[in-house]
Amino acid sequence: MRNHTYIKLVCYTVLFVVITVSCKHKEHEYHSITDKIEAESKNYKGVSISSKKYLEGMKMMEVTENEITFLIPTRKDKIKSYKCTECHTQPLAKMQTKDIKKAHWNVKLEHASLNTMNCITCHDGNNMDNLKSITGHSIDLNTSYKLCSQCHQKQYKDWTGGAHGKRIESWASPRASMTCVNCHNPHSPSFDTKWPARFNTQKIKERK
């Protein structure tokens, strides 16, 4: 009986030594990937990512739409002919006469039919430095997206949520997004149809 007890004791001792020795490992060596993650994440303080350095030098303004706050580029400082009232010294109705040569000859309105839309649909005829809402409220040119949102409500909601439009420089916070007029010409907002960059002309010939 004593011999059996002694043998068991020896076996347990040997097993303990084997397990102890096998568990010893060098620094930075682990039994599993989970052990490695747990060990090396103890001193992890996180990484701070910001887009601020990419936005330096850009004229931006903060807006809040649908309870979401983000940055957009200013608009008025990029319009060469602003302020409009430097030429539009009178209400538009008084200036639109047959005797006056058309000033904006290069602007072609292709936004909607002329029966639906003309210049003063969007521009404030009494103060050409501003835009005008459907209800007659003044809209600053820097926030022209508010004018677009009246008809393009779906795109506006997608834009405020970040799904429509382009980010500026980085996806990291603070969020900076282009507005409607940064991508679309407000007078002719549709994009021209283009062939894909790798359009296969040979296949087209074969199909004819």
34-36-40-41 Cα dihedral, nearest 10 degrees: -10
User: How would you write 29-68 as a 3-class SS string?
Assistant: CCCCHHHHHHHHCCCCCCCCCCCHHHCCCCCEEEEEECCE
196 lies in some domain: no
163 lies in some domain: yes
Q: How confident is the model at residue 178 (pLDDT cuts 50, 70, 90)?
A: very high
Residue 159: which of 170, 172, 146 has the closest Cα? 146
40 lies in some domain: no
Specify the DSSP class assigned to residue 191. Answer: P
Distance CA 201, CA 205 (A): 6
Q: Is 12 exposed, middle or buried (0-12, 13-18, 19+ CB in 10 A)?
A: exposed
**pLDDT tens digits, 63-106:** 999 999 999 999 999 998 899 988 888 887 777 776 666 678 78
120 lies in some domain: yes
Place of tokens 């990029």: 78
23 lies in some domain: no
Specify the DSSP class assigned to residue 141. Answer: G
For range 121-129, the mean pLDDT: 92
**pLDDT tens digits, 16-66:** 665 555 554 555 667 778 888 888 888 777 777 888 888 999 999 999 999
Residue 76: which of 148, 140, 139 has the closest Cα? 140
14 lies in some domain: no
Number of compact structural domains in the chain: 1
The two tokens of residue 41 are: 């994440």
For range 102-127, the mean pLDDT: 86
Mean per-residue pLDDT of the chain: 83
Q: How confident is the model at residue 151 (pLDDT cuts 50, 70, 90)?
A: very high
pLDDT for residue 69? 96
Statement: the pTM of the whole predicted model exceeds 0.85: no
158 lies in some domain: yes
31 lies in some domain: no
Q: What is the DSSP string of 77-128?
A: GG-TT--GGGT--S-HHHH--TTSPPS-TT----SS-TTT--HHHHB-TT-T
**Domain interval for residue 139:** 61-96+108-183
For residue 128, pLDDT over 80 is answered with yes
Q: How far is CA 27 from CA 17, 39, 170, 199, in A?
A: 20, 11, 38, 56
